[in-house]
């Protein structure tokens, strides 16, 4: 059982066929090698770590004995660690001779065509994302409709005859079965498709390579999974996963091929590198948001706020374009589906309905109330996050087998159904069934004829519809106790649900919780104030509460404001929503981070924040860098290269190329930087000096060869190099990046950080005053430092 | 008359008391030195320019003979030039020892306090900007109201009695007088306050130092100027200048002192450097947009789209906060002014009014129409820009004396009044005076009793009100001929007006033109289609037309979409507006650049775009850089430093510090970079090695001394250095930036550009493989290359 943690960790499955024993206990304390790290680190000064971090940088298949020694039931978790498992993406072009030659050959028209094809790709991304959203929406509507119809008929049958427990069992059974299907495909086929995918996309845009995150298989599992979990009645939304889906679509379309399907369309070959791909993934994420909420501008802002660091005007417009197309496509096809072709009135998956102009006004003296609601949202959000944090740690420790995960998901589904049923059963909140009632499945239950159970509106419905009825149902549709009990139960249900091994988002449950207590708040206000009329619309407070709760959980401000404004279709509430989100963020941040950040941290991802920690000016590149560095000569022996690449204990990905070193002790002068992936392509094509001499007619290696291998470069083990070939020489001049960015040893950490982050680097070479290589700074070296409670803290690196 | 071009060029007044003859003819061709440059350049290859550009980098008081030789009436303009007059701002911190020591001394709490004070500053910026907007609005309303009342009474008096020409003269006279006042203060006191100020703020955020652009005096002149020009009836808006005003407020508040008022509050001293100041100026510009349009999110996007290059989440939130506060302040005070305290219904200076939910729907088959309108807007916008471009060149050549400029402004004011009068006079479009008519000054003129002249609604009104009535007046309020004639005349009037020496924006006139032809378009559609009802609302088409026209002129997309959505208070039109803006931009860009970019180019500003030209990979740092470079030793003789700084023919601002050079021919190894401003402070405080030795009790120079001198460092001429002192030595080690970013000679231009732009550098040192300084890349070296019609073109550098 080497796959103990396989399903828990995002990147549990290696990208490449790795040697046996790849799965390693998530963190140290499990004995063996991991423990030895922690012992080494425990008494370590900065320098020691500096030295050590070279040894265990980058992914490293765990020592063989590991899995033999310990097969723990419980995996202790220590969040003061940084995983060495995640590789970085290279958002800085390797401008080697091949690349420059190609660029120089290209005419102005060539660049124009490239630019146009970028727009075409963005249009395709938008269309496909819109179609996926459309598909999810229609399938969920039908499945959920079918389910509720069956249960409703059953309940109605047994209401008078007695034996409602049968209905309960039917409901719980239906939910569990549907959720089980969703959980099984996620847990067994593609664990990375679990959750909303937003943390993963955040990491991807930040420059961390999360294995398998943008694969076609992930998309398929994600889409099926989200359909099952929403139709299965879990407290989840289908909006978050749309963002991930959009990103996968973008990564696929922009490459003009599918590695999974082994189909290469031979188009968009220029875009086969990390830099270009990232830009399209931003566009895809934006298109996803846009389709989910009908918020194209919000999508762009989401992409920028959560992802991009370098704001480029042209890129932003393309992202915007993709977002527009996505909403439009969704709108268009949904209008056909609803037989209202041409009426573009379904802007997104979630439609908050239109707020009437009369009821949307607010007054100055309501602003303190909004701020209070924001603070409340921040508090509740922090509580939610803390609970979910503990739960996630529990899950990491104990629920790491796929079958356990599926069982947990089924349990949650059954409990959700049971709780809902109990709520509806014990509720005595009967409301008259109006003519224009938007309830799709009004449950009469024990109410008088012509009335329906109001608790059922909230529970016996898809969450999207519940949100809408909380916003728009006329005053008096809900009793305060109904709302209070609903808030309480749904809060814990949603908290339990997030982090299950199903594809699901947290947006809608958050909105629902917030809308419930917001409406409650509004009703209470109307009770205690003498004014009467101005407080008459609890829907307004429901909206503010929804914003506060969501803001308190995810802690976005700018993009969320725009998303909510676009989703409600009314900017009058723009200012209150902003205020509320800002307050919720400030209050919430006082206690704990946002939900996504918590999950990123729990995975020990080397995530780079916007700036270096404030008090890190005392550190310089010398202390931060890894050293000594493995370097290559300009013309290097093939044997040496193969040996270095095969060395599993180092497993570096970038190698400075230096001028020939006479004395081994003295570091060489830097003259370039070459990547593992490039070396592997060179070895595969056997680009040896001797060969080019002997066989002049051999085809020269082109950029195309590198692009064809991107992004799944074969592992070094798969490349056979004979003993003769090991004696050959390889000339790296043409393939290395001759102008890597360098810094001197005295450069302060914030300065290094700024350079690294702004340019999206993967390797930054540290040189001395003679331009000799003395160290290498990678993502992990920078992400290690963070501001803790006691000032600057240093995370330990570990093979989690 | 050395100040021939003084008023034409943005930066005509030097920031420092410069030697006589500072004003130089705007461009070459005027004879003398400038001509000699162009001759040298004409046959130059890249290398030659590389060498030459060292000599004339940075601001250079023009040769003395210049003003003696030529005093041309006509100043030929050549836009293929890049001015050497503009200095750069330093958006990269100089992390010298003093700075690092201070940062290291600071505790975590210190950084928290700093962060809080940043928020406080943003709040202050928001409040002050909101108050200024409020002031402008109230004064303009009252002044314009008074004016229209007087004229209306006069017209009514003469309508029946005959002698309307007296009314015309009165109108023209009133307009001219008010405009004259505005033009005089701008032309004579602060020419930089002319126009909307948006191009200047764009340049500032880009990193170009436009002299006097963020001074208090500029703000005062701007505010008074805009009041005069709007009240004077010109075809201008008061929204553009708000952006400039917000930026000035931000630059002032954040520094905690006013150099003009000689008042230092001793607060916010930490923010006295370019980097911090820029961040606040972004916030100020956003607050300005927010106050102008009631669009806080739009403001943030404007700031980002037009200015910032590095997107930082915390910064964005602060900007957002400033925007929110600004709208809120404006709202609050306007609600008090309008006696509706607490009703926050005046979100911005321009209020488009509320679009009813019923009339805002659009249908799929309207989308092609929207796209057509977008294309039309793009065409008309391009026409506007081309006409304005020619006009501006004409102005640069012939209208460069302040008195001429004032006269032109008066002429335009009189012509505007005359044209308006004629239009109203000859119009026979009478409309019944409804009960709920929003017309403030309905002119009956020759209409029957109970009717009013509909042309007067458009002309006899502030432009803001005209826009609103075009959007919201019921169908049938305007005859098609009225709208057609109005569009035509207003188009030319607005085009003539933009670029006058008055403070005025182009947003509102553009919206007005667009709204007019959009409404016309809507009416025509209703005529030719059989459907009837769906086309019934010409207000919708007026809005789309307004968006198209504005987009065609200024070419913003994302921020403008949000601004318009926020200003109309309705997101239903979000998608059509996006489509229209995108189309307008694509169509317009085919012909000519956006209006702001044209004006930036006409000023020969070394503006850095988002990316290096596509086909510039063939160039490397070696070809781009200036060389040889003036370097200093770590310990340098004071005399040498003074001589270099006083050398007016070079006037460099950044000097690499190198290790002692034995052989003069061989360049030294880089060990730091020091700025002119730092050297000047050192010289002023006489920080000489000998002195520190002899007088040990002397106060050590602190960062505070540099901050006190910021941003107006004294010129070298004002610092007296005795002959004895010239023999002293200065140790630069502590003050230089010891870790400047460097690149090697082989680095390609796009790579250099990316580094330079992403980090906001001012000087980038080019080194060889031995780390010896071989060149220096500055803003002008990069801005020189641009994509022309025949591929990559190189601009010439000139002392314009």
Write the pLDDT tens digit of every residue in B566-586. Answer: 887 777 777 888 889 989 999
- Residue whose tokens read 């270096």: A612
User: Using CA atoms, how far apart are residues A784 and B416, in angstroms rounded to an integer?
Assistant: 66
Do the beta carbons of residue A756 and residue A747 sit within 8 Å? Answer: no
Closest CA to A373 of A541, A491, A554, A488: A541
Q: What is the Cα–Cα distance from A511 to A384, expressed in whole angstroms?
A: 13
Q: Residue B607: what are its φ and ψ, rounded to 5°?
A: -90, 130
Q: Which long-range contacts (CB under 8 A, 24 or more apart) does B688-695 make?
A: B688/B638, B688/B725, B688/B728, B688/B729, B688/B730, B689/B635, B689/B728, B689/B729, B689/B730, B689/B731, B690/B728, B690/B729, B691/B728
Distance, CA of A455 to CA of A486 (rounded, Å)? 8
- The yes-or-no verdict on residue B24 having pLDDT over 50 is no
Inter-chain contact A312–B758, Cβ cutoff 8 Å?
no
Alpha-helical runs (H) found in A435-573: 454-459, 463-472, 480-497, 507-528, 538-554, 558-568
pLDDT of residue A41: 36
**Smallest CA–CA distance from A294 into chain B, residue:** B575
> Within a 13 Å sphere around the CA of A202, how many CA atoms are in the beta-carbon half?
25
CA-wise closest residue to A21 among A74, A60, A77, A76 = A60
Decide if pLDDT at B283 tops 90. yes
DSSP assignments along B309-350, one per residue: SB--HHHHHHHHHHHHHHHHHHHHHHHHHTT-TTB----SSS
Q: What is the mean pLDDT of residues A59-69?
A: 39
* Chain A residues lying within 8 Å of B737, measured CB to CB: none
Query: Which of A59-68, A402-411, B654-663 is least confident?
Result: A59-68
Q: What is the DSSP letter of B141?
A: H
**Residue B492 to residue B390: CA distance in whole angstroms:** 13
Cβ contact (<8 Å) for B357 and A362? no
Is B575's CB within 8 Å of A324's CB?
Answer: yes
The pLDDT > 70 percentage for chain B reads 83
Cβ A320–B558 below 8 Å, yes or no?
yes
CA distance A514 to chain B (A): 23
Q: What is the pLDDT of residue A179?
A: 94
Are the CB atoms for A72 and A30 separated by under 8 Å? yes
DSSP string across A86-108 = PEEP--S----HHHHHHHHH--H
pLDDT tens per residue across span B478-500: 788 888 988 999 999 999 999 89
Band of the pLDDT at B13, cuts 50, 70, 90? very low
Residues of B in Cβ contact (< 8 Å) with A296: 574-575, 578
Task: Dump strand ranges (E) for A137-265.
Answer: 208-209, 257-258, 263-264
Q: What pLDDT score does B49 carry? A: 32
Nearest residue in B to A333, CA atom: B364
How far does Cα B612 stand from its chain's mean position?
Answer: 22
Q: Given a cut of 70, is residue A345 above it in pLDDT?
A: no
Classify residue A411 by burial, with Cβ atoms within 10 Å: 0-12, 13-18, 19+: middle
Contact flag A615-B108 (C-beta cutoff 8 Å): yes
Minimal-distance CA residue of chain B relative to A336:
B364
In this predicted model, what pLDDT tens digit does every residue of B304-362 receive, in sequence order? 887 666 667 788 889 988 998 998 899 888 888 888 776 666 666 777 776 665 555 77
Confidence at residue B372, expressed as pLDDT on a 0 to 100 scale: 94
* pLDDT tens profile A76-127: 556 677 887 888 888 888 888 888 888 888 888 888 899 899 999 999 999 9
Q: CA B199, CA B222: separation in Å to the nearest integer?
A: 15
Beta bridge partners of A3: none
Q: Which residues of B touch A671 (CB under 8 A)?
A: 769
Name the more confident of B32 and A638: A638
Task: Identify the H or E element spanning A672.
Answer: strand A670-675
Measured CA to CA in angstroms, residue A472 lies from A512, A538, A568, B556 at distances of 13, 9, 11, 36
pLDDT mean over B254-266: 81
The Cα B668–Cα B684 span in angstroms is 27
CA dist B316 and B299 (Å) reads 11
Q: What is the longest distance spanned by two Cα atoms in chain A? A: 97
- CB neighbours of residue B474 within 10 Å: 13
- Cα Rg, chain A, nearest whole Å: 28
Select from B343, B610, B617 the Cβ nearest to the Cβ of A313: B610
Residue pair A238/A226 in contact by the 8 Å Cβ criterion: yes
Looking at residue B1, its pLDDT comes to 36
pLDDT at B38 over 70: no
Within 13 Å of residue A464, how many CA atoms lie on the same side as its CB? 20
Write down the mean pLDDT value for chain B. 81
Q: Are A388 and A493 in contact (CB under 8 A)?
A: no
Lowest mean pLDDT among A83-87, A380-384, B52-56: B52-56
Residue environment code for A332-345, b if the CB has 16+ CB neighbours within 10 A, otherwise e:
bbbbeeeeeeebbb
Mean of per-residue pLDDT scores for chain A: 81
Separation of alpha carbons A285 and A305, rounded Å: 12
Q: What mean pLDDT comes out for the span B257-280?
A: 83
pLDDT of residue A181: 93
Judged by CB atoms closer than 8 Å, whether chains meet at A770 and B769 is answered as: no
Whole-number pLDDT of residue A357: 52
For residue B684, count other CB atoms closer than 10 A to its CB.
Answer: 18
In degrees, rounded to 5, the angle at the alpha carbon of residue B72 between the alpha carbons of residues B69 and B74 is 155
Return the biggest CA–CA distance within chain B.
97
pLDDT given for residue A565 in this prediction: 82
What number is the ipTM of this complex? 0.86
CA-atom Rg of chain B in angstroms:
28
Q: Is the pLDDT of residue A297 over 90?
A: no
- Per residue in A178-222, pLDDT (tens digit) is 999 999 999 999 889 988 889 999 999 888 988 888 889 999 999
Q: Give the separation between CA B531 and CA B206, rounded to whole angstroms.
A: 51
Report the distance separating Cα A796 and Cα B11, nearest Å.
54
Q: Which of A104, A316, A669 sits opposite B617 (nearest CB)?
A: A104
Query: Are the CB atoms for B221 and B186 separated by under 8 Å?
Result: yes
Which residues of chain A neighbour B569 with C-beta distances below 8 Å?
570-572
CB A271 within 8 A of CB A124: no
Residue A685 exposed, middle or buried by CB count within 10 Å (0-12, 13-18, 19+): middle
Q: Specify whether the CB–CB gap between A630 and A652 falls below 8 A.
A: yes
| B320 contacts in chain A (CB < 8 Å) | 557-558, 578, 582
Asked whether the beta carbons of residue B364 and residue A341 sit closer than 8 angstroms, the reply is yes
Q: Where are any strands of DSSP class E within B580-668?
A: 632-633, 635-637, 654-658
Q: Is the pLDDT of residue B59 over 50?
A: no
Q: Are A354 and B361 in contact (CB under 8 A)?
A: no
Q: How far apart are the first and last CA of chain A?
A: 16
Q: How far apart are CA A543 and CA A540, in angstroms?
A: 5
Tell me how far CA of residue B378 lies from CA of B375, B490, B590, in angstroms: 5, 17, 9
CA dist A323 to A220, A464, A507, B37, B75, Å? Answer: 21, 22, 19, 49, 48
Burial of B116 (0-12, 13-18, 19+ CB in 10 A): exposed
pLDDT higher than 80, residue B65:
no
Helix H or strand E encompassing A393: helix A367-398
Residues of chain A with pLDDT > 90, as a percent, come to 28
What pTM was estimated for this model as a whole? 0.87
> What's the CA gap between A321 and A338, in Å, rounded?
26
Q: B218 with B248: CB under 8 angstroms? A: yes
**What is the pLDDT averaged over residues B705-725?**
85
Instruction: Give B669 or A571, the one with higher predicted confidence.
Output: B669
Question: Number of residue pairs across A and B with CB atoms under 8 Å?
Answer: 202
Q: Which long-range contacts (CB under 8 A, 24 or more apart) does B266-269 make?
A: B267/B117, B268/B117, B268/B121, B269/B704, B269/B707
B464 near B436, Cβ under 8 Å? Answer: no
Among the partner residues A363, A617, A767, nearest to B103 by beta-carbon distance: A617
**Which residues of chain A lie closer than 8 angstroms to B770, CB-CB?**
770-771
B236 phi, psi to nearest 5 deg: -140, 170
| Mean pLDDT comparison of A473-477, B160-164, B296-300, highest-scoring range | B296-300
Percent of chain A with pLDDT over 70: 83
Residue B705 sits at φ, ψ, to 5 deg, of -65, -35
- The verdict on a CB contact (< 8 Å) between A310 and B312 is no
């Amino acid at each position: 059982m080497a796959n103990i943690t396989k399903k828990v960790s995002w990147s549990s499955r290696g990208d490449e066929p790795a040697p046996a024993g790849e799965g390693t206990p998530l963190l140290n304390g499990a004995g063996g090698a991991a423990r030895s790290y922690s012992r080494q680190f425990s008494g370590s000064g900065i320098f020691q770590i500096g030295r050590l971090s070279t040894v265990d940088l980058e992914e490293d298949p765990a020592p063989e004995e590991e899995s033999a020694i310990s097969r723990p039931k419980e995996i202790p978790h220590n969040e003061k660690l940084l995983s060495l498992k995640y590789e970085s993406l290279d958002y800085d072009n390797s401008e080697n001779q091949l690349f420059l030659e190609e660029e120089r050959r290209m005419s102005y028209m060539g660049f124009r065509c490239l630019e146009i094809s970028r727009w075409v790709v963005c249009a395709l991304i938008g269309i496909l994302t819109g179609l996926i959203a459309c598909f999810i929406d229609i399938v969920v509507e039908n499945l959920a409709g079918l389910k509720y119809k069956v249960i409703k008929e059953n309940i109605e049958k047994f209401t008078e005859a007695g034996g409602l427990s049968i209905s309960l069992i039917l409901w719980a059974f239906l939910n569990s079965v549907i959720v089980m299907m969703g959980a099984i495909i996620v847990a067994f086929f593609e664990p990375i498709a679990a959750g909303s995918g937003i943390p993963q996309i955040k990491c991807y845009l930040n420059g961390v390579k999360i294995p398998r995150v943008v694969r076609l298989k992930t998309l398929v599992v994600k889409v099926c999974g989200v359909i099952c979990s929403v139709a299965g009645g879990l407290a989840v939304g289908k909006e978050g996963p749309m963002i991930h889906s959009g990103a996968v679509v973008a990564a696929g379309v922009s490459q003009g091929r599918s590695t999974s399907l082994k189909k290469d369309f031979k188009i968009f070959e220029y875009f086969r590198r990390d830099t270009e791909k990232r830009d399209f993934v931003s566009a895809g994420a934006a298109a996803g948001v846009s389709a989910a909420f009908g918020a194209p501008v919000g999508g762009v802002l989401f992409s920028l706020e959560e992802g991009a660091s370098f704001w480029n005007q042209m890129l932003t417009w393309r992202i915007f374009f993709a977002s527009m197309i996505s909403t439009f496509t969704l709108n268009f096809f949904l209008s056909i589906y609803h037989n209202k072709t041409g009426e573009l009135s379904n802007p997104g998956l979630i439609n908050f309905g239109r707020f009437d102009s009369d009821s949307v006004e607010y007054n100055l003296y309501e602003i303190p109330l909004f701020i209070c609601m924001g603070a409340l949202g921040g508090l509740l959000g922090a509580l939610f996050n803390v609970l979910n944090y503990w739960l996630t740690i529990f899950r990491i420790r104990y629920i790491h087998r796929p079958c356990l995960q599926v069982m947990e998901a089924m349990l949650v589904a059954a409990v959700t159904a049971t709780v809902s049923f109990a709520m509806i059963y014990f509720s005595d909140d009967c409301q008259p069934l109006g003519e224009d009632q938007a309830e799709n499945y009004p449950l009469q239950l024990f109410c008088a004829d012509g009335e329906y159970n109001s608790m059922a509106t909230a529970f016996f419905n898809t969450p999207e519809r519940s949100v809408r009825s909380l916003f728009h149902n006329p005053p008096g549709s809900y009793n305060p106790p109904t709302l209070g009990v609903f808030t309480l139960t749904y809060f814990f249900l949603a908290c339990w649900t997030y982090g299950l091994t199903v594809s699901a988002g947290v947006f809608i449950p958050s909105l629902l919780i917030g809308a419930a207590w917001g409406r409650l708040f509004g009703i209470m206000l109307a009770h205690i104030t003498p004014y009467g009329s101005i407080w008459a619309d609890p829907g307004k407070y429901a909206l503010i509460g929804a914003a506060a709760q969501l803001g308190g959980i995810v802690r976005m401000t700018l993009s969320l404001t725009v998303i909510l404004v676009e989703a409600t279709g009314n900017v009058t509430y723009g200012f209150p929503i902003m205020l509320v989100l800002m307050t919720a963020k400030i209050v919430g941040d006082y206690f704990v981070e946002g939900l996504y950040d918590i999950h990123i941290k729990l995975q020990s991802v080397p995530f780079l924040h916007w700036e270096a920690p404030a008090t890190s000016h005392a550190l310089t590149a010398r202390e931060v860098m890894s050293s000594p560095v493995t370097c290559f000569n300009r013309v290097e022996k093939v044997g040496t290269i193969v040996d270095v690449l095969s060395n599993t204990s180092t497993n570096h990905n970038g190698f400075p190329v230096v001028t020939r070193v006479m004395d081994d002790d003295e570091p060489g002068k830097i003259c370039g930087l070459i990547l593992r992936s490039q070396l592997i392509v060179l070895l595969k094509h056997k680009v040896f000096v001797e060969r080019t001499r002997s066989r002049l007619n051999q085809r020269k290696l082109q950029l195309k060869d590198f692009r064809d291998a991107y992004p799944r470069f074969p592992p070094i083990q798969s490349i056979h190099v004979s003993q003769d070939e090991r004696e050959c020489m390889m000339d790296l001049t043409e393939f290395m990046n001759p102008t890597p960015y360098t810094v001197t040893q005295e450069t302060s950490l914030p300065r290094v950080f700024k350079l690294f982050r702004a340019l999206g680097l993967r390797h930054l070479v540290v040189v001395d005053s003679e331009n000799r290589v003395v160290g290498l700074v990678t993502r992990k070296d920078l992400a290690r430092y963070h501001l803790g409670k006691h000032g600057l803290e240093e995370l330990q690196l570990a093979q989690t």
